[in-house]
Amino acid sequence: MAEATATGKSGKVVIRNIGLLLSGDIDKPILDADTIVVNDGLIVAVGKLKDCDVEHAQTVIDAHQTCVCPGLIDSHVHPVFGDWSPRQNQIGWIDSTMHGGVTTMISAGEVHLPGRPKDIVGLKALAITAQRAFDNFRPGGVKVLAGAPVIEKGMVEQDFRELAEAGVGLLGEVGLGSVKAGYEAKEMVAWARKYGIQSTIHTGGPSIPGSGLIDKDVVLEADADVIGHINGGHTSLSEQHVCELCEKSSRAIEIVHNGNEKVAIAAAQAALQLKCPHRVILGTDGPAGSGVQPLGILRLIALLSSLGNIPAELVFCFATGNTAKIRKLNCGLIEVGRDADFVFLDKAQHTAGMDLLDSVQRGDIPGVGMVMIDGLVRSGRSRNTPPATAIPEVLAHA
């Protein structure tokens, strides 16, 4: 297993001979560049080799004409403590997901904790503890943004202020606790927003004991920042109501692997038709009853591209730059000043696709050849994806 925490600075890193550079920016998803220069975990140059300062690098990586993409972001996970999921009694699921190209995860609530406290003092304590714990511990190097309290009846504005002052920046899915009415949720979402806490609302039928149906009217009235698993987690609203949410709300449209796949495609296509593809973000909603999906984001990208007939380079933006912008993260985009989180991809061996993007548009997931987080190599060829046709090579390492 990769080390759980960062082991220092990356120093100067040069990645050269890139065959395809995906930017993460949906307005310009492919960059005309073959070289990235990193210093101490941040991107300092992107361009052609001849135009970049590549001297005196501690680490040099030959991409061997493979694709470099921003590290994938899973916008919707349910961690508990460490790299353990009590829902499936599985150890190592976060590190395993890193082998699927995911470098950042965002908690939608630590709801699977056995005996999860639902009183106000307890839920705040759990959120603060989870935020602190994952800030100090990175399984496989993955950045887990955790500490997402599930709101309950009786909370007042002061509770949200205290959470924000303690460093909590997220709300767990609205609707997983006792607050299910639109008017109640709207007030608490507004308090959270006032103090800089981003909110996500459960959408669709119940998923765990204590949750319930959250229909389109509740979603619209609550006006949370993210329409969580708009395609259901697991049970979806009707396509008509999902498309109505896309049209009537201006909030983020979150599509998940653990939802209704037909409605996932409908939601993505609706966003394109409404000319707001920048609102689409991707998650897995795992671990859950459907299990842990180390390749969930890659599989969702292939699904939306192939059956949704959406260019693969755009769908990769759903899982990188779109999420980074909506979640206010410094990763997810290949540009100077951003975190040096990368996944090296190539078409899987023996796919019918002519190249990486063509293979994804045909429905095949790519092979992961390497993952870097903050400029540090966290894995070589993935133990979970099909083998990539070509893989990058570390030429020099101080």
Phi/psi of residue 22, each to 5°? -90, 130
Distance of alpha carbon 169 from alpha carbon 150, whole angstroms: 13
Instruction: State how far Cα 370 lies from the chain centre.
Output: 18
The β-bridge partners of 170 are 198
- Per cent of the chain over pLDDT 90 is 92
Tokens of 230: 């708009």
Mean pLDDT of 168-178: 96
Percent of the chain with pLDDT over 70: 97
The CB-side HSE value for 325 (13 A sphere, CA atoms) comes to 18
pLDDT at 3: 45
72-294: CATH, from 3.80.30.20, 3.40.50.720, 3.30.70.1350, 3.20.20.140: 3.20.20.140
pLDDT (tens digit per residue) in 206-233: 876 666 789 999 999 999 999 999 999 8
Instruction: Please answer whether residues 276 and 249 qualify as being in contact, where contact means their C-beta atoms are separated by less than 8 angstroms.
Output: no
Burial 129-148 (b: 16+ CB within 10 A, else e): ebbebbeeebbbbbbbbbbb
Note the pLDDT of residue 206: 83
Residue extents of the structural domains in the chain: 12-70+332-397, 72-294
Task: Taking residues 11-37, report their average pLDDT.
Answer: 98
Name the band, by pLDDT with cuts 50, 70 and 90, for residue 361: very high
- CATH assignment of 12-70+332-397? 2.30.40.10
Confidence class for position 396, pLDDT limits 50, 70, 90:
confident
Q: State CA 118 to chain mean position distance.
A: 27
Query: What are φ and ψ of residue 84, in 5° steps?
Result: -135, 135
Q: What is the mean pLDDT of residues 295-318?
A: 98
Cα angle, residue 37 at apex, residues 34 and 39 outer, rounded to 5°: 165
CA distance 75 to 173: 12
All residues at 6 or more sequence positions from 130 whose CB lies less than 8 Å from its CB, including other chains: 79, 81, 107, 110, 146, 147, 148
Q: What is the DSSP string of 4-71?
A: SS--S---EEEEE--SEEE-S-TTS-EES-SEEEEETTEEEEEE-GGGS--TT-SEEEE-TT-EEEEP
Bigger pLDDT: 87 vs 323: 323
**Helix then strand then coil, % of the chain, to nearest 5:** 30, 25, 45
Retrieve residue 236's tokens.
Answer: 């979806």
Average pLDDT score over the chain? 95
Q: Point out the least confidently predicted range of 55-64, 85-94, 389-398.
A: 389-398
What pLDDT band is residue 298 in, cutting at 50, 70 and 90?
very high
Average pLDDT, integer, range 109-118 = 96
The predicted pLDDT at position 211 comes to 67
